[in-house]
Structure 1
């Protein structure tokens, strides 16, 4: 481990009060954090930390050294930021990750726009359906769906999505619309394993979980396959709201059982913590934040238009009447948050 990283680890231990918190911040093992401190103490010939089973605190030498480290690290960070924070002309290589379908539908067009706007930045866009560890995997920015654990990254709230149940108008005309979750037992279902358990779907009523056991006619592991099957009338399926956005807008699919949906799940942008964030990161964060916070399908978990109309009901008075009661819980404005 180089000397600057050892200093960063030491400062993190003092600021966060534990070796484990420092290891979490940098994605290092507890042993690596201990070796960094031992290396500093050996080089300096002084004990920097007083350790007990319950606490870690700096010694007098440690107090003096942590201040020196902060000044040095801040100076380096400022020097780097002055070189790279010119938002009009960011440079370098930017690595981005996002879930596959969210990336295809909403992030890829932004990446294209970004590369055209900033020709001196090379972009490495990786779309995969698993969380990435930014520091360990060399990722600058990650778009993530889900509730976030405590981390050393900055998290920008972009919006939210919901797990919703969909059917085609033709299927509903032929088989009727289930009005309660357990009505699904008498229906044909298409299970998408990326969103729901294949043999059990979960709904909620008054915060109480309602599990429904199914015998699906079809089980798939790709959202487009579930969408295609539902559009063709094979059966009812469950997806995240954004995954069926265009099909709902076109009228090919209709959300059902709206009153029994779970709470919305946040969509966030994560980037590595820096005192002076590089221009390439700042410019992409600003582009994505501005654009996705204006995206109807991410700003309204129920899929409401800017006029407050449900997307599947837009221009369809019959659907609007049928779903009017289900809209009410989702009319609260979304509060965006920025924090660690």
Structure 2
């Protein structure tokens, strides 16, 4: 048995949780599976599996080796598919992550339309307000709303969003509209953030350089933009969210954008993925498909 066959057997045992189950899936005899794993461990010089009469579990070295082995086998399968011409036809499971609200509003419709176009692709979405590690969590494509640090990720810019201060017309009729950021200190404000301590609202300095820090009184602090927008629409105060989060309410006249001339620089939106031009066909096709759709959406916000 060659090295790659030994790796495939080890992965099968690790995923099946036992030698007998792996043997059945591989259509091999249990002794042959045992010999293959033993030969692999001897060649590596490390124990990969703890064996008892009832269970098989990975050692620490085995867990690390399993991750590398699965990556190597996936790359080999992709190389073979490329050589066979299958690389041109998107197929397989696509995993996409995005911030929770942006994902629900804008990414989910794109994924559904992509699946309609490519029937050989299935999809999994992970919408969460945290930075998802693509490699650790098995994600193919991520929407990042942030300035990107230097990394090995491939990135395609699809637009930008703004930080907007907004309130309902009814609230403004009773309290007046702020004309400069400091005026917010005399308004009821709705804070939106993940932490427990209200963060200041930052604006460009009055002279065009530096930062102006405003700490408005927070009558309510929430960790969900939907809630912040709904409370503001109800006329209960002023909030600050990203432009896409308030776009529908602003478009319908339920919210009014305030202090537009004092907005900080917009935040870029990117699609990022791991493999660049070597990415699987489903990943490259989705990035191209989603980029066109999201540019249209973000350009209208």
The answer to whether TM tops 0.5 is yes
Secondary structure at the residue paired with 2:284?
helix
2:201 maps to 201
Shift of 1:148: 0.8
Structure 2, unaligned stretches of length 5 or more? 5-42, 45-74
Partner of 1:103: 103
Q: Counterpart of 1:217 in 2: which secondary structure?
A: strand
Aligned counterparts of 2:185 and 2:165: Cα–Cα separation in 1:
14
**Pair 200,275 (structure 1): closer, same or farther in 2 beyond 3 Å:** closer
The SS at the match of 1:173 is helix
1:153-232 correspondence runs (5 A): 153-194=153-194, 198=198, 200-205=200-205, 206-232=208-234
User: Can you give the 5+ residue segments of structure 1 that lack an aligned partner in the other structure?
Assistant: 5-41, 44-73, 304-340
Quick one: structure 1 residues 196 and 260, their matched pair in 2 at CA, closer, same or farther if it must change by over 3 Å? farther
In 2, distance between residues paired with 1:196 and 1:96?
29
Select the residue among 273, 276, 279 that pairs with 1:277.
279
- C-alpha distance in 2 between matches for 1:209 and 1:287: 38
Map 1:8-47 to 2 at 5 A: none
Shift of 1:282: 1.5
Question: What is the alpha-carbon distance in structure 1 between the residues aligned to residue 176 and residue 272 of structure 2?
Answer: 43
Instruction: Check conservation: 2:162, 2:243, Cα contact below 8 A.
Output: yes
Match in the other structure for 1:299: 299
After superposition, residues 252-263 of structure 1 pair within 5 angstroms as 252-263=254-265
**Aligned position for 2:88:** 86
Residue 86 of structure 1, CA deviation: 2.1
Q: Work out whether residues 168 and 256 of structure 2, in 8 Å CA contact, stay in contact via their aligned partners in 1.
A: yes
How much has 1:223 moved relative to structure 2? 0.6
- Whether the 8 Å contact between 2:166 and 2:240 is mirrored in structure 1 is yes
Which 4+ residue blocks in structure 1 deviate beyond 4 angstroms? 74-78, 194-197
Q: Distance in 2 between matches of 1:79 and 1:174?
A: 68
Contact conserved, 2:78 with 2:280, CA < 8 A, in 1? no
- Work out the number of aligned pairs and report it: 228
SS at match of 2:218: coil
Q: Which protein has the larger Cα radius of gyration, Structure 1 or Structure 2? A: 2
The DSSP-based 3-state class of the residue aligned with 2:179 is: coil
Are the aligned partners of 2:168 and 2:255 in contact in 1 as well (CA < 8 Å)? yes
Residue deviations 1:260-311, cap 9 Å, x none?
Answer: 111111100011124432211122111101111112xx237xx4xxxxxxxx
C-alpha RMSD of the superposition:
2.4
The structural deviation recorded for 1:255 is 0.7
Instruction: Work out whether 1:249 is the aligned partner of 2:254.
Output: no
TM-score, length basis structure 2 = 0.70
Deviation at 1:162, TM superposition (A): 1.2
Q: Say whether the 8 Å CA contact 1:191–1:197 is kept in structure 2.
A: no
